[in-house]
A and B are shown apart, each in its own frame.
Chain A
Amino acid sequence: MKLINKSHVAKRMPVRLAVNTICKGLFFLATLVGLIVLAILFYRIFTQGIGHLNGDFLQNFASRKPEEAGIKAALIGSVWLMAVVAPVSLMLGVGTAIYLEEYARKNWITTFIKVNISNLAGVPSIVFGLLGLTVFVRALALDRSVLAAGLTMSLLVLSVIIVAAQEAIRAVPRDLREASFGMGATKWQTIRKVVLPAAIPGILTGGILALSRAIGETAPLVVVGIPLFIAFLPQTVLDTFTVLPMQIYNWTSRPQEEFQQVAAAGIIVLLILLIVMNSIAVLIRNKFQKRY
């Protein structure tokens, strides 16, 4: 006796296929919502801002007059900030991840630390701003400098980098480590020659995400006290400065209609900077993957 009634299965078939089609449609719609909103945003920003985007805009300092306002200080400031955040957060983050994954003993303390690093990623950025204000600006007397802001920002993105690097390191197959250890390699030689080359694409992907967040973040810098209006460039990491999102925030809060367009132009510059950063990271990633 057959347990499956084939005619019943045949009768159900159209319903199953219809449900499949409906689900496909629903998921496509979900994707579409995001894409359309993004497209509208791009359209608005580009139509508003493209008129202001020219050589003068990039070379001028901020001004009270919208037609003379430029983004030079903020653009260079953002680059300075990245120059501090990228090395500090990557070195500390990857170093921490290597220690936790490769060297630390697996006990409840390590587990506790790992869980709390993940939790740190969820702490509001303004809290990091307060931390930066207390520790770097006041206690270490770094004032409102590139260094103080950069270190604050590094702490903010550190947990993201640690978690991404940990996952990338953990994903390296165990048998590759065993092969290396089996030939008398030390732990560090194994990490350096086997684990890191295999993990670097994953580490960089996490690093890019983290730096992209850092370049767009405003709240902690407001708390640290980074000025909104500045007409000179930093000469050292101890000078004060401003960054793109702060400058954009400043412009959008102006009453004059033209400043909205200046802000749009600023957003375009920020977007381009992000795309350039991502492209560089992708290039580095591909270069490392080709080694295999």
Chain B
Amino acid sequence: MNMTLTKEKNSSAIVNGAIQPTALTEKVYETSGLNLWYGENHALKNINLDMHQNEVTAIIGPSGCGKSTYIKTLNRMIELVPDVKTTGQIKYRNRNILDQSYKVEDLRTQVGMVFQKPNPFPKSIYDNVVYGPKIHGIKNKKVLDEIVEKSLKGAAIWDEVKDRLHENAYGLSGGQQQRLCIARCLAIEPDVILMDEPTSALDPISTLKIEELVQELKKDFSIIIVTHNMQQAARISDRTAFFLNGEVIEYANTDTIFSNPDDKRTEDYITGRFG
């Protein structure tokens, strides 16, 4: 990665609990004035959020607060839902992705996604990982083999599956399947990885492995993770956004959010008084 862009956690100056990004922190996403409707239902209300390179940004909030909707807007996966309307803009690397001239296929080669439920294809482990590269037209067998090894190593699952790359991915455990899905996502060499509650269907040990993995991955990628597990957000993220009823109530350094939140509702939520 470009060294000058690598973010150092201490370089963000904190004034009044809000983050004043320094020149060193490159923004990957800049959301401004984003509104989203499902039909008549106003699901996201005037969202303003910036996300930074080589950081883990956590999005927390109670069920139905719009956090999943928001992360799905970041790679426009939300368009699969019929009758969705958006206003405002989301800039990814200074280009508005909500502009229809921005092709979703183009965006999603830069922004990978890991889903709530592990969703490997009913194919072999190898074929799962090469799916993305093949879609993008990479045919060279040697290159594909290298991608498979690199991606599986990157997702910390190589040692477990290296002897059975051509076996069905459905034979893996839930936690392994999710790491395979992360490997599949790494295989397209994305810039940003979106994770939509990636551990909600997993046992505690698999969850721990994924959390450790996220810490590893942020060296090379920018990660945005939705989680309903506040401890998880506290453990792995650099910044945390608290969503409630489609609004961003508070967005700050994770330490600040969890030790000294600005808003009463944030405090109530993280101390478990509701949600």
Contacts and interface: CB of A to CB of B under 8 A. Distances in A.
A179 B121 CA distance: 8
A193 B75 CA distance: 21
Interface in B82-106: 82, 104-106
A182 B123 contact: no
B97 to A, nearest CB: 13
Given A176-B119, A178-B119, A179-B119, A184 B105 contact: yes
Contacts of A184: 104-109, 132, 135-136, 188
Interface stretch (B110-118, B222-230, B246-254): B110-118
Contacts, number: 69
Contacts of A291: 123
B181 interface: yes
Interface in A159-190: 173, 175-186, 189
A198 B135 CA distance: 18
A194 interface: yes
A292 B119 contact: no
B77 interface: yes
Given A106-B82, A178-B77, A178-B80, A183 B112 contact: yes
A183 B184 contact: yes
A183 B128 CA distance: 11
B38 interface: no
A113 to B, nearest CB: 17
Contact of B131 (A105, A193, A198): A193
Contacts of A176: 119, 121-122
B105 A186 contact: yes
Contacts of A183: 108-109, 112, 131-132, 135, 184-185, 188
B162 to A, nearest CB: 21
Interface in A176-213: 176-186, 189, 193-194, 197-198
User: Among the interface residues A178, A179, A182, A197, which one has the most CB atoms of the partner chain B within 10 A?
Assistant: A182
B119 A175 contact: yes
Contacts of B117: 175
A182 B112 contact: yes
Interface in A84-109: 105-106
B115 A182 contact: yes
B135 A179 contact: no
B258 interface: no
Contacts of B115: 175, 178-179, 182
B104 to A, nearest CB: 8
A176 B169 CA distance: 13
A194 B123 CA distance: 10
Nearest to B134: A193
A185 B103 CA distance: 11
Interface in B182-197: 184-185, 188
B122 A185 contact: no
Nearest to B194: A182
Contacts of A189: 135
Given A106-B82, A185-B105, A180 B123 contact: no
Contacts of A197: 122
B12 interface: no
Contacts of B107: 184
B10 to A, nearest CB: 34
Contacts of A106: 82
A292 B123 contact: yes
B170 interface: yes
B168 interface: yes
A215 to B, nearest CB: 33
Interface string B246-268: 00000000000000000000000
A6 B272 CA distance: 45
Nearest to B128: A179
Contacts of B77: 178, 181-182
Nearest to B82: A106
Contact of A292 (B75, B108, B168, B188): B168
Nearest to B118: A175
Contacts of B185: 182-183
A104 to B, nearest CB: 11
Nearest to A173: B119
Interface string B186-225: 0010000000000000000000000000000000000000
Interface in B38-86: 75, 77, 80, 82
Interface of A: 105-106, 173, 175-186, 189, 193-194, 197-198, 291-292
9 contacts: A105-B82, A179-B121, A180-B131, A181-B104, A183-B108, A183-B184, A183-B185, A184-B104, A185-B132
Which A-B residue pairs are the 9 nearest by beta carbons? A184-B108, A175-B119, A183-B132, A292-B122, A184-B109, A182-B113, A185-B135, A179-B119, A184-B105
Given A182-B108, A183-B112, 11 more contacts: A179-B115, A179-B121, A180-B131, A181-B80, A182-B113, A182-B185, A183-B188, A184-B132, A184-B136, A185-B135, A292-B170
